[in-house]
Amino acid sequence: MDRIAVLVVDDEESVRTFMSELLGSAGYQVRCASSGAQALEMLAGGSFDAVLLDVVMPEMSGLEVLRRYRGQGGNAPVIVLSGLTGADDAVRAMKMGASDYLSKPLGNDDLQDALSRALGARAPDRPGAPPGLVARPPVDPAADARVLISTSPSMRRARALVERIANENVPVLLLGESGTGKEVIAREIHARSQRRGRPFIKVNCAALPGELLESELFGHERGAFTGATAEKPGKFELADQGTIFLDEIGEMAIRLQAKLLQVLQDEEFFRVGGKKSVRVDSRVVVATNRDLEKEIALGNFREDLYYRLNVVAIRLPPLRERREDVVPLTDHFLKKYGRHYISGVSELPTEVLQAFADYDWPGNVRELENMVRRLCVLKDPTLVLDELHTASRAPASAPSLPTAYGGDDGGYPMRMPEEPARPSSPSVQVLEMPSRGAGATALAPQAVPTVLEPINSVIPSPRYVNPFDVPQPPPPPPPSGELSLKDIGKRAAMLAEREAILAMLQRTAWNKRRAASKLRISYKALLYKIKECGIIDPRASAEL
């Protein structure tokens, strides 16, 4: 059988090379175009089974290429790629006839799965794959379990709960800060279940706008909307007999929450534009870093869906609450990345491990992994130590931050996005490893007269002062009588949120929509918080 012909259109040579090697090894015949004009010329003169099309290109954008190609009668499936998080581009691309939309950087499985969905039964299968699906390597539960490195009691309890509920066909709600390992737990639940031989499908609910997310989850029929030139199965159908992982479930629109509730209750749904119901048997695992009970109070999340999902809840603690895991995780990531960047390294200097143990890791396990990877690339712990010390010396008087997930037992802090301080002429010098014989060596600190731009550390920006910065009245007084410890905690949290909201409003010149975006809460939630904290808009005061 002739190989499937795929055209890769991207102005970056490195991307073209990566996709050519990846898809070539998967059995596709790959040709490349470096511009929109070249792509149209190749499409007019040749026959392709699928097109991978970058959106942002000079002279002619990918969307313009797609418009012209469809206008000329081209009907090959087009998968649009973009390094930007432009929801509008995604919607426009789908309406213009794109079969799928992927965000860069691309994962190997994401790219091949998208091609499999677009090509259907024509896609080259790997051994053991269901027709039309790209098979993943067989899942070994023991090997998968090794990814979850932990010795802390809290994570042992979470692991024990995973083992107890893995084979129970009930929804699972994963709670915790970003970077704590919710996806790792979701994959382990799947790997330990009887569904491990079937697909594990991940969907990030925050990555797509509502109308596109609905088509992504539930699929659409041909002619359901402008550009729907072919029938497309949704992620729920692809996860049939397997597991679907809905990350950032708190970002899902209310309208879609109602449809998700129907799937959980009836195990069936309608495709977009469909008239016939589709039955599926998918295990649903969801994750969020938001406090869903607060979102219910604000009207952002359905109460009935929350109770339907909250059959089993697993809360993952932040890394700062399980410091005993820092060293084992460091060793794990050192072995993982040491194979690619350095050789013969078995341990880190004591001062590096001590700095790792003392640091709070606001980015949790993901930040630790990136730090170890950078350490392996730079081959000089001095640069990493300087970065950790800089982050640890951040002013203690910086505004307290509101919580993204809170409760009576404490909250997970939500980090306010700040612009890192940038040196005027940053430079990075990669040094050779110090030789200590033929055996295993350890990284040793070295004095290097270079400047490394901090990547994961957060350096607060100076407080913004603008003409709208006017004195605010004190917050509402506490209720009369003695306060319980719970009431004291709630008032302290309100004061912290009030200070952070005021600081962000002043930095954005009281642009509430922009402030809400930077604080990572909805505009409606910000208005509620402003009223609750007794914050007065100075522009409204000036009009009186």
What is the tens place of the pLDDT at every residue in 198-251? 889 999 998 877 778 888 899 888 877 776 777 788 889 888 889 999 999 999
Helices (H), 288-349: 292-297, 303-309, 326-341
Q: Among 207-216, 415-424, 464-473, which is the least confidently predicted range?
A: 415-424
Tokens of 401: 């931050």
In this prediction, residue 35 carries a pLDDT of 92
In this prediction, residue 419 carries a pLDDT of 42
Q: Which residues pair with 312 in a beta bridge?
A: 172
- Tell which phi-psi region holds residue 97, choosing left (phi > 0), alpha (psi between -120 and 50) or beta: left
**Residue 289 pLDDT class (50, 70, 90 cuts):** very high
Per cent of the chain over pLDDT 70 is: 71
Which tens digit of pLDDT belongs to each residue from 96-134?
Answer: 888 777 777 666 667 877 787 777 656 665 433 433 333
Tokens of 249: 């479930």
Helices (H), 342-380: 350-358, 364-378
In this prediction, residue 176 carries a pLDDT of 93
Give the residue, 240 or 455, on which the prediction is more confident.
240
Q: Among 78-82, 176-180, 491-495, which is the least confidently predicted range?
A: 491-495
| pTM, rounded to two decimals | 0.52
CA distances from 390 to 4, 24, 315, 360 (A): 52, 45, 31, 13
DSSP symbol at 2: P
